[in-house]
């Protein structure tokens, strides 16, 4: 309750136009802690439609595709849309964070911010929220739903979900070092995480918070969550290994494949992604 | 001015050429100097402009740099990671070392970055070159470290939550020069030369006005252009000089040289001597006008040569006319005189033998009178022809006039000259003059003179000597050839003496100084004086001039008739004055010219009144009679008819032809003294001939007179030989009659 109050206290709503549904997004902020302010784009939508919370991928921002364009499409379709940028420890972050930057942020930190953005939606009268994540953002959605299942989120759509790529040896070593670091400021290390090839500068705990979400963990989480989940994959997604795709196909999670689409659904596949997501959303409410 | 022009002008073509080259060189030199000077001033102006442009460029660059640094500082302070460090500086050192400069936010000219918190304390470790603390008032500083210039720029970092509040500071260490070069591409400034005017370690505030030192980039294009123009000027100079010298060479080859050749050729033509004709001026000239002059000159020269040849021919003709005797074709007196002068000039001062050979035709006048002038001319031509053939081919034969010829020999031995003279005499003797209708023998006499002296006077007297020698050559007993000797000098002197000549002329003109001497001619039978031979003397300055001196002058001057007439006058005067003993007789010598003289009859007619009282005898020399036999005979016959007796004088000294004697109208024959002397001194045969001759003539009815009786023995011999009369010193010397 106190957190909500803080959110309200620090909520700054910037409305430039008394716009229609398709109007430009409003920038909204939440002060998560002293010196750390989170920023999100908010577009109001039809009241009968659930609000949609879109989460970007690894180290990206709310302006990164395909979530930015999907936000436009959903907004165009009348859905209230909120697209935050995870701070990753940087107040009002508005650019992708470099691999070489100091990465102290952890997956729980991200989930805390997601939780506050969901509260923001609830505080703005939204009773139903659909969470859509892309790539690592899908993993955040999944982790949040496993960690904090609530009544607000009625559905999750995981676009391009995949276990984050890590170096197995680094992962093993980090896991071995972690207990020894308790109580002291952990040193920075260089790791391979996703597209950061051995240059992801992070503390071991921060590293492990993402690296521990292996394929098995994700598959297990998919089985645990209580809300309906849809998975959308591009058939030409190079980030997703065939093993992982096969693993998903064997699970009971509905899988939507977009032919020839890559990991970021470039070009014409952008519209196809938008259409599929809307179809999934409409299917729910029909 | 006129003096100067007169002193220095005219000048040669080459001088004008050199003057032209000097003027052209000076003109182009001045033009080049002016151009180079202009180029230099332009260069200075350009450099000045470049300096201004460079200063403006630096000022502009500093302005740009200020803006750029503001942007860089802003980008740094707005960077997520910067703000992340200010909010959580746990890993600041990693960030400062690994991210601040490599995060792609600040350009390379930012050499160091440091972050400070709101209180101005550094977020972590501070490198030594960065400030330990900062605050809001920390100015931008500029300093020199290690020879390089650095700008320390302090930029506050705005708090993202509370507007107007500072969350910290960022300090950037900026390498000035690369920073400046990153904002400005210099066109006028040598970027490598840009440096701030600071001492090592010196720190100043941010105002860099007047602190930036730089070098101006030389404008390569302008420099290249100026260099090119300068080089071009020198090239032009070089080309002008080269062309000038080519022009000079062309002038020399095309004009000067041909003109000099023409001038030399004309000079040579002008200086030509004796009709010397040069070759034509060969070799074509390269200049059309000069070639035309050359051709015209050659044409003119040819015309000149033609005229010269024509003049030569005319001169030759004139010379021939002037120097050749028109009758005989041999050289004339004028030519002789010229050659003689030439010989004198050549021989003078050298010991050269010179001989003069003088020819004279004996009795030519008589031949001329007898056979006519045409025959006489033919005789002269024949003699000239014979003599020319007899002489050597190179010897010149001259006709001095009348029947006189002469030749001369240079460096010839006198014996050989005498031999030549003999051959000449013989050649004339042998010539058949009968072809010309001449019955009488024609002979020549030769007078020779020889000198081997150095002095011109000796040579000059040769002609006179030859003349004297000729006189002697004509005398009986000299074999027709006489070489002058000192002995002949007296006669020669008489012949040539002006004193004698004057006396002769005076005597003939007035007759006052003529003195008549009379030598008795004695009848050898009765021993009585039968008549006197009138002998002339000339009294001159109390001296008596004898016939030996008188008659060479008379004969040389061809005054025989005049002298005879003068003598006749004196004799007539003596007759009238009664100086001649009554009952005796008187003989007068009559020369050849006188006997044929038209007035002889008139003159002798004055004697006719005395014929009744006196025996008047006209003595005529054999030579005189023969040369004009016909006329003489006619006149003598008339005189004989008038009562005069005619005596043939000097019989035996000339032809002594009995054939002639038979035809001569004479009454008396006077044997020459040489015949009479031959009786005294000659051999028996000669005496016998004379005796026989005397006998034969006497028997033919002539009275014969013996001359030169000088003693009793000669008188006795004359008597024995039948001479009717005698004459000589033994019988009576010539003397005045009272």
Q: Is the pLDDT of residue B665 over 50?
A: yes
C-alpha–C-alpha distance, residues B386 and B364, integer Å: 16
C-alpha–C-alpha distance, residues B96 and B124, integer Å: 9
Most confident of A15-19, A176-180, B229-233, B427-431: B427-431
Write down the pLDDT at residue A9.
40
Write down the pLDDT at residue B494.
53
Write down the pLDDT at residue B122.
92
For the segment A182-201, the average pLDDT, to the nearest whole number, is 88
Query: Per-residue DSSP letters for B84-127?
Result: HHHH-GGGHHHIIIIITTTSSSS-TTEEEEEEEETTS-BSS---
> Judging by beta carbons within 10 Å of its beta carbon (0-12, 13-18, 19+), is residue B150 exposed, middle or buried?
buried
The predicted-structure confidence for B374-399, as pLDDT tens digits, reads as follows 888 999 999 999 999 999 888 899 99
Neighbours of B692 (CB within 10 A): 11
Q: Is the pLDDT of residue A286 over 60?
A: no
| Beta carbons of A117 and A82 less than 8 angstroms apart | yes
Tell me how close the Cα of B133 comes to any Cα of chain A, in angstroms: 23
Q: Are strands A255-258 and A229-234 parallel, antiparallel or unpaired?
A: parallel
Q: B223 versus B323: which is more confidently predicted?
A: B323
Chain B residue numbers touching A89 (CB-CB < 8 A): 84, 88
Query: How many CA atoms are closer than 13 Å to the CA of B309, on its beta-carbon side?
Result: 6
Structure tokens at A225: 């969550």
Most confident of A180-184, A280-284, B516-520: B516-520
Structure tokens at A36: 């750390």
pLDDT interval class at B275 (50, 70, 90):
low
Q: Is the pLDDT of residue B230 over 90?
A: no
- Portion 131-190 of A in contact with B at CB < 8 A: 185, 188
Write down the pLDDT at residue B219.
73
Q: Which H or E element spans position B285?
A: none
Q: Is the pLDDT of residue B683 over 60?
A: yes
Tell me how close the Cα of A35 comes to any Cα of chain B, in angstroms: 6
ipTM of the complex: 0.83
C-alpha–C-alpha distance, residues B283 and B399, integer Å: 52
Cβ neighbours of residue B292 closer than 8 Å, sequence gap 6 or more: none
What are residue B725's DSSP bridge partners? B523, B705
Most confident of A174-178, A256-260, B282-286, B566-570: A256-260
Rounded to 5°, the CA angle B571-B648-B655 comes to: 135
Write down the pLDDT at residue B310.
85
Chain A residue numbers touching B160 (CB-CB < 8 A): 37, 91-92
> Judging by beta carbons within 10 Å of its beta carbon (0-12, 13-18, 19+), is residue B176 exposed, middle or buried?
buried
Structure tokens at B633: 């005979």
Q: Do B84 and A35 touch (CB under 8 A)?
A: no
Structure tokens at B463: 């002609």
Query: What interhelical angle do B364-390 and B629-642 show, nearest 10?
Result: 160
Write down the pLDDT at residue B4.
66
For the segment B130-148, the average pLDDT, to the nearest whole number, is 84
Tell me how close the Cα of A123 comes to any Cα of chain B, in angstroms: 23
Q: Are strands B514-523 and B481-483 parallel, antiparallel or unpaired?
A: unpaired
Q: Are strands A51-55 and A36-43 parallel, antiparallel or unpaired?
A: unpaired
Neighbours of B491 (CB within 10 A): 17
What are residue A41's DSSP bridge partners? A27, A83
Q: Do B103 and A95 touch (CB under 8 A)?
A: no
C-alpha–C-alpha distance, residues A8 and A12, integer Å: 8
Chain A residue numbers touching B102 (CB-CB < 8 A): 100
Write down the pLDDT at residue B314.
85
Write down the pLDDT at residue A17.
32
Quick one: CA torsion of B279, B280, B282, B285, rounded to 10 degrees?
A: 150
Q: A55 versus B721: which is more confidently predicted?
A: A55
For the segment A58-79, the average pLDDT, to the nearest whole number, is 93
Q: Is the pLDDT of residue A171 over 60?
A: yes
Query: Per-residue DSSP letters for B227-272?
Result: HHHHHHHHHHHHHHHHHHHHHHHHHIIIIIHHHHHHHHHHHHHHH-
Owner of token pair 């003068």: B566
Residue of B nearest to A98 (CA): B103
| Beta carbons of B649 and B476 less than 8 angstroms apart | no
For the segment A245-273, the average pLDDT, to the nearest whole number, is 91
Write down the pLDDT at residue B244.
81
Closest Cα to residue A212, out of A106, A121, A137?
A: A106
Write down the pLDDT at residue B331.
92
| Beta carbons of A213 and A139 less than 8 angstroms apart | yes
Q: Which of A95-109, A169-183, B268-282, B597-611 has the lowest mean pLDDT?
A: B268-282
Q: Which H or E element spans position B150?
A: strand B148-158
Taking CA atoms, B362 is separated from B170, B372, B423, B465, B474, in Å, by: 165, 16, 17, 19, 8
φ, ψ for residue B524, nearest 5 deg = -70, -20
Look at phi and psi of residue B351 and say left if phi exceeds 0, alpha if psi is from -120 to 50, else beta. Answer: beta
C-alpha–C-alpha distance, residues B408 and A248, integer Å: 167
For the segment A212-223, the average pLDDT, to the nearest whole number, is 91
CATH code for the structural domain at B324-490: 3.30.70.270
Tell me how close the Cα of A101 comes to any Cα of chain B, in angstroms: 7
Write down the pLDDT at residue A7.
38
What are residue B239's DSSP bridge partners? none
Q: A258 versus B235: which is more confidently predicted?
A: A258
Write down the pLDDT at residue A4.
40
Of B83, B91, B94, the CB nearest to A91: B83
Closest Cα to residue A156, out of A71, A228, A84?
A: A228
Interface of B with A (CB under 8 A): 80-81, 83-85, 87-88, 90-91, 94-95, 98-99, 102-103, 160-161
Most confident of A178-192, B457-471, B524-538, B661-675: B524-538
Cβ neighbours of residue B33 closer than 8 Å, sequence gap 6 or more: none
The predicted-structure confidence for B69-125, as pLDDT tens digits, reads as follows 999 999 999 898 998 898 888 899 899 888 888 888 889 899 999 999 988 999 988
Q: Which H or E element spans position B649?
A: strand B645-651
Structure tokens at B539: 């009294």
Q: Do B99 and A94 touch (CB under 8 A)?
A: no
B275 alpha carbon, distance to own chain's centre: 11
Tell me how close the Cα of B154 comes to any Cα of chain A, in angstroms: 22
Taking CA atoms, B85 is separated from B71, B678, B709, in Å, by: 20, 189, 194
Q: Which of A4-13, B128-137, B542-551 has the lowest mean pLDDT?
A: A4-13
A201 shares contact with chain B (CB less than 8 Å): yes
Q: Do A101 and B81 touch (CB under 8 A)?
A: yes
Write down the pLDDT at residue A8.
39
Query: How many CA atoms are closer than 13 Å to the CA of B666, on its beta-carbon side?
Result: 31
Write down the pLDDT at residue B463.
85
Rg (CA), chain A: 18
Q: Which of A189-198, B110-119, B709-718 has the lowest mean pLDDT?
A: B709-718
Q: Is the pLDDT of residue A276 over 90?
A: yes
Structure tokens at A111: 């989930």
Q: Which H or E element spans position B482?
A: strand B481-483
Write down the pLDDT at residue B173.
93
Owner of token pair 């935050």: A84
Q: Which of B245-259, B408-422, B437-451, B643-657 has the lowest mean pLDDT?
A: B643-657
Chain B residue numbers touching A94 (CB-CB < 8 A): 80
What are residue B585's DSSP bridge partners? B615
C-alpha–C-alpha distance, residues B46 and B128, integer Å: 47
Structure tokens at A145: 């739903």
Most confident of A3-17, B209-223, B427-441: B427-441
Q: Which of B76-80, B232-236, B481-485 has the lowest mean pLDDT?
A: B232-236
For the segment A256-272, the average pLDDT, to the nearest whole number, is 92
A11 shares contact with chain B (CB less than 8 Å): no
C-alpha–C-alpha distance, residues B567 and B518, integer Å: 12
Rounded to 5°, the CA angle B168-B173-B177 comes to: 150
Structure tokens at A75: 């907004």
Chain B residue numbers touching A104 (CB-CB < 8 A): 88, 90-91
What are residue A256's DSSP bridge partners? A232
Q: Is the pLDDT of residue B558 over 60?
A: yes
Q: Is the pLDDT of residue A274 over 60?
A: yes
Structure tokens at A17: 């136009």
Q: Which of A22-26, A28-32, A239-243, B499-503 has the lowest mean pLDDT?
A: A22-26
CATH code for the structural domain at B499-726: 3.20.20.450
Chain A residue numbers touching B91 (CB-CB < 8 A): 102, 104, 188
Mutation site, B94, B102, B161, interface A, largest A CB count within 10 A: B161
Chain B residue numbers touching A97 (CB-CB < 8 A): 80-81
What are residue A233's DSSP bridge partners? A257
Q: Do B161 and A31 touch (CB under 8 A)?
A: yes
C-alpha–C-alpha distance, residues B705 and B698, integer Å: 10
| Beta carbons of B670 and B689 less than 8 angstroms apart | no
Owner of token pair 């921060």: A206
Q: Is the pLDDT of residue B43 over 90?
A: no
What are residue A232's DSSP bridge partners? A159, A256
Chain A residue numbers touching B85 (CB-CB < 8 A): 102
Structure tokens at B626: 């023969």
Tell me how close the Cα of B190 comes to any Cα of chain A, in angstroms: 39
What are residue B172's DSSP bridge partners? B113, B153
Size of interface A-B (CB pairs under 8 A): 54
C-alpha–C-alpha distance, residues B326 and B337, integer Å: 17
Q: Do B94 and A102 touch (CB under 8 A)?
A: yes
φ, ψ for residue B699, nearest 5 deg = -65, -25
Tell me how close the Cα of A31 comes to any Cα of chain B, in angstroms: 9
Mean pLDDT (chain B) is: 84
Of A93, A95, A188, the CB nearest to B94: A188
Mutation site, A27, A101, A207, interface B, largest B CB count within 10 A: A101
Q: Is the pLDDT of residue A261 over 90?
A: yes
Query: What interhelical angle do A215-224 and A136-147 show, nearest 10?
Result: 50
Taking CA atoms, B539 is separated from B48, B519, B550, B556, in Å, by: 133, 18, 11, 20
Residue of A nearest to B88 (CA): A89
Neighbours of B329 (CB within 10 A): 14
* Fold observed for domain B16-218: Beta-Lactamase (3.30.450)
In angstroms, the first-to-last Cα distance of chain A is 35
Most confident of A152-156, B603-607, B622-626: A152-156
pLDDT interval class at B476 (50, 70, 90):
low
Domain map of chain B by residue range?
A: 16-218, 324-490, 499-726
Q: Do B80 and A95 touch (CB under 8 A)?
A: yes
Tell me how close the Cα of A46 comes to any Cα of chain B, in angstroms: 32
Q: Do B81 and A37 touch (CB under 8 A)?
A: no
Closest Cα to residue B676, out of B686, B667, B685, B668?
A: B686
Q: Is the pLDDT of residue B631 over 90?
A: no
Q: Is the pLDDT of residue B435 over 80?
A: yes
Residue of B nearest to A185 (CA): B90
Look at phi and psi of residue B650 and say left if phi exceeds 0, alpha if psi is from -120 to 50, else beta. Answer: left
């Amino acid at each position: 309750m106190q957190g909500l109050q803080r959110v309200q206290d620090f909520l700054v709503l910037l409305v430039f136009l008394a716009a229609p549904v398709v109007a430009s997004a409003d920038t909204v902020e939440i002060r998560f802690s002293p010196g750390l302010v989170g920023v999100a784009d908010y577009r109001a939508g039809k009241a009968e439609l659930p609000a949609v919370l879109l989460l970007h991928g690894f180290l990206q921002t709310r302006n990164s595709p395909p979530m930015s364009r999907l936000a436009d499409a959903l907004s165009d379709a009348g859905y209230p849309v909120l697209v935050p940028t995870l701070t990753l420890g940087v107040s009002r972050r508005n650019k992708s964070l470099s691999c070489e930057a100091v990465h102290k942020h952890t997956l729980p930190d991200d989930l805390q911010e997601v939780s506050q953005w969901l509260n923001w939606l609830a505080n703005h009268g939204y009773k139903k929220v659909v969470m859509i994540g892309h790539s690592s953002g899908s993993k955040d959605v999944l982790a949040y739903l496993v960690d904090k299942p609530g009544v607000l989120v009625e559905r999750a759509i995981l676009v391009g979900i995949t276990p984050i790529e890590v170096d197995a040896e680094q992962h093993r070593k980090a896991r071995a070092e972690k207990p020894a670091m308790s109580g002291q400021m952990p040193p920075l290390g260089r790791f391979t995480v996703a597209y950061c090839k051995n240059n992801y500068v992070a503390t071991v705990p921060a590293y492990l918070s993402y690296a521990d979400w292996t394929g098995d963990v994700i598959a297990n989480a998919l089985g645990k969550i209580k809300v309906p989940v849809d998975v959308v994959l591009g058939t030409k997604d190079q980030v997703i290994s065939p093993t992982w795709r096969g693993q998903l196909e064997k699970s009971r999670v509905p899988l939507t494949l977009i032919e020839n689409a890559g990991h970021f659904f470039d070009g014409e596949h952008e519209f196809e992604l938008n259409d599929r997501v809307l179809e999934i959303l409409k299917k729910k409410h029909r | 001015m006129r003096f100067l022009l007169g002193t220095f002008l005219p000048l040669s073509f080459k001088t004008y050429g050199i003057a032209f080259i000097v003027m052209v060189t000076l003109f182009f030199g001045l033009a080049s100097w002016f151009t180079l000077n202009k180029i230099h001033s332009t260069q200075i102006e350009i450099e000045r402009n470049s300096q201004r442009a460079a200063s403006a460029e630096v000022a502009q660059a500093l302005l740009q740099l200020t803006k750029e640094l503001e942007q860089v500082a802003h980008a740094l302070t707005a960077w997520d990671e910067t703000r992340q460090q200010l909010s959580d500086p746990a890993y600041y050192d990693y960030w400062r070392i690994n991210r601040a400069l490599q995060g792609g936010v600040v350009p390379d000219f930012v050499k160091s970055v440091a972050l400070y918190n709101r209180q101005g304390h550094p977020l972590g470790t501070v490198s030594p070159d960065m400030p330990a603390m900062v605050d809001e008032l920390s100015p931008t500083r500029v300093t020199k470290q290690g020879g390089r210039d650095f700008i320390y720029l302090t930029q506050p970092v705005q708090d993202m939550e509370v507007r107007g509040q500072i969350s910290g500071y960022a300090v950037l260490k900026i390498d000035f020069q690369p920073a400046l070069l990153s904002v400005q591409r210099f066109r006028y400034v040598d970027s490598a030369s840009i440096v701030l005017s600071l001492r090592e370690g010196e720190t100043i505030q941010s105002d860099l006005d007047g602190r930036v030192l730089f070098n101006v980039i030389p404008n390569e294009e302008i420099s290249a252009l100026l260099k090119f123009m300068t080089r071009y000027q020198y090239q032009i100079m070089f080309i002008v000089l080269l062309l000038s010298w080519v022009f000079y060479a062309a002038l020399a080859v095309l004009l000067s040289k041909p003109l000099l050749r023409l001038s030399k050729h004309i000079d040579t033509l002008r200086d030509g001597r004796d009709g010397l004709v040069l070759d034509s001026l060969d070799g074509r000239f390269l200049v059309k006008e000069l070639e035309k002059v050359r051709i015209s000159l050659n044409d003119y020269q040819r015309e000149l040569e033609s005229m010269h040849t024509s003049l030569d021919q005319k001169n030759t003709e004139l010379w021939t006319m002037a120097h050749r005797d028109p009758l005989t074709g041999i050289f004339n007196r004028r030519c002789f005189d010229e050659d003689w002068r030439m010989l004198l000039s050549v021989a003078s001062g050298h010991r050269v033998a010179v001989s003069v050979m003088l020819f004279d035709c004996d009795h030519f006048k008589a031949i001329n009178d007898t056979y006519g002038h045409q025959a006489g001319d033919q005789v002269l031509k024949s003699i000239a022809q014979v003599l020319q053939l007899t002489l050597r081919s190179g010897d010149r034969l001259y006709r001095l006039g009348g029947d006189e010829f002469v030749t001369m020999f240079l460096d010839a031995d006198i014996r050989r000259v005498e031999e030549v003279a003999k051959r000449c005499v013989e050649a004339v003797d042998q010539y058949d003059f009968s072809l010309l209708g001449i019955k009488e023998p024609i002979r020549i006499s030769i007078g020779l003179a020889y000198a081997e002296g150095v002095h011109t006077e000796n040579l000059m007297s040769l002609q006179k000597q030859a003349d004297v020698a000729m006189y002697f050559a004509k005398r009986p007993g000299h074999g027709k050839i006489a070489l002058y000797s000192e002995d002949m000098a007296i006669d020669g002197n008489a012949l040539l003496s002006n004193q004698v000549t004057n006396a002769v002329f005076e005597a003939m003109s007035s007759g006052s100084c003529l003195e008549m001497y009379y030598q008795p001619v004695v009848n050898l039978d009765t021993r009585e004086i039968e008549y006197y031979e009138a002998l002339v003397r000339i009294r001159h300055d109390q001296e008596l001039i004898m016939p030996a001196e008188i008659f060479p002058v008379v004969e040389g001057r061809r005054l025989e008739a005049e002298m005879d007439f003068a003598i006749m006058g004196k004799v007539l005067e003596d007759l009238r004055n009664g100086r001649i003993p009554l009952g005796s007789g008187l003989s007068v010598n009559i020369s050849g010219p006188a006997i044929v003289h038209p007035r002889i009859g008139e003159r002798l007619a004055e004697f006719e009144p005395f014929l009744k009282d006196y025996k008047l005898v006209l003595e005529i020399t054999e030579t005189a009679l023969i040369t004009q036999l016909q006329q003489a005979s006619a006149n003598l016959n008339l005189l004989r008819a008038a009562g005069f007796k005619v005596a043939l004088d000097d019989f035996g000294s000339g032809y002594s032809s009995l054939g002639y004697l038979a035809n001569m109208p004479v009454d008396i024959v006077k044997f020459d003294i040489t015949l009479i002397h031959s009786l005294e001194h000659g051999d028996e045969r000669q005496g016998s001939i004379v005796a026989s001759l005397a006998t034969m003539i006497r028997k033919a009815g002539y009275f014969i007179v013996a001359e030169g009786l000088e003693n009793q023995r000669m008188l006795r011999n004359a008597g024995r030989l039948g001479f009717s009369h005698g004459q000589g010193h033994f019988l009576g010397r010539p003397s005045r009659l009272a």
